[in-house]
Amino acid sequence: MDNFLVQVKNIFDSAPFAVFTFDASGTVLYINPLFESNIAQDDLPFVGKSLYDLVHKFLVDDRLEKQIKRLIDTDKPFSLIVETLSSPSIRAQGFINVIGYKLDSVYIIISDFVSGRLAKEGRYKQLIEGAPDAIVIMNHGVITFTNPAFNTILDIPVHEILGKKLSSFIDEKGRQDLSAIKKNYSKTFFARINVNTRSGKKILEGNFHFIEDRPGTSIALLRDVTEKVALEKRLLRQNQDLAAVNLISKTLSSSIDLKEVLQNTLSQILQIMNIETGWIYLLDEETQMLKCAYSYGIPD
């Protein structure tokens, strides 16, 4: 085994991609310099540690662990794309292609960057983290990455968000609207959802995209439209009030019969406001008492 690891070291020490090897127990036997240089020094060394513990520590996505176990059980190679945006201990931020296979008596993992030098230089993560809108990456609806904008909207620290389903933060209607994110693939779609935050309910809207070569992975680009929706409601109510005033004025000028005026006025107001029940009170000037003069939709 020692001689074989020396050969592996000679082959992969200068490789332009990250490499590590492990045995059937999942114990790390070797990592190459490029892989080591992309890991925070406080988390090294890897050699001698359990690969399963390391995967849990660095990735929210559990698919890599399942593929590694499958590789050990069946010796069948695999290829998988994972994201490292959610792990601050990994300097190479972005989407990484992981290939696993058996070589002689050990297992080898090779990792390369899907986004090329953009990911290597860290610019990809900087663009995402600096975005004013919320960006959320999910695996079958389970959150694996969020940028600071999303954390700010929810007013929840990132460690309390990662690994949880997006559905745990939204209402029932939103869960139904976002049912597609549990699938492997779906067309890009737009949604408006109500999100429960520590400072109250907020309304987010935006597009949900699926990554073509990564089954089950979706990215949401969301914007906080809480104030916008509130303004829309106020404008709608003002328009309704104005329409009601205009109709009342028109009704008053079209008839001198009080009952007819009250009936037409209430009917028009209920129609404008989309309300099924209502009544009109008139003020008795002598007694200064209000009396129901006409009603609709309620018993006499």
**DSSP label of 17:** S
Q: Which amino acid is at 292?
A: C
Instruction: Calculate mean pLDDT across residues 224-250.
Output: 79
CATH superfamily of 2-120: PAS domain (3.30.450.20)
SS3 16: coil
Which of residues 240 and 27 earns the better pLDDT score?
Answer: 27
Instruction: Calculate mean pLDDT across residues 269-278.
Output: 80
Distance between CA atoms of 277 and 269, rounded to whole angstroms?
A: 10
pLDDT band at 118 (very low <50, low <70, confident <90, very high): very low
Q: Any idea which residue has 């328009």 for tokens?
A: 239
Distance between CA atoms of 191 and 204, rounded to whole angstroms?
A: 8
Q: Which residues partner with 27 through β-bridges?
A: 50
Instruction: Calculate mean pLDDT across residues 247-257.
Output: 69
Instruction: Calculate mean pLDDT across residues 148-154.
Output: 90
SS3 128: helix
E-assigned strand segments in 124-216:
134-139, 142-146, 189-197, 200-210
The string of pLDDT tens digits covering residues 35-70 is: 888 888 888 889 999 999 988 888 877 788 889 999
Give residue 69's pLDDT.
Answer: 93
Give residue 120's pLDDT.
Answer: 45
Q: Which amino acid is at 241?
A: D
Q: Any idea which residue has 């303004």 for tokens?
A: 231
Q: Which residues partner with 81 through β-bridges?
A: 97
Give residue 117's pLDDT.
Answer: 44
Run of H or E including 56:
helix 51-58
Give residue 74's pLDDT.
Answer: 93
**pTM given for the model:** 0.55
Cβ–Cβ < 8 Å for 61, 45: no
Instruction: State residue 206 phi and psi, 5-degree precision.
Output: 165, -170
- Residue 167's alpha-carbon distances to 147, 170, 194, in angstroms, are 18, 5, 10
* Nearest partner of 47 among 65, 64, 33, judged by Cα: 33
Q: Which fold has domain 130-224?
A: Beta-Lactamase (3.30.450)
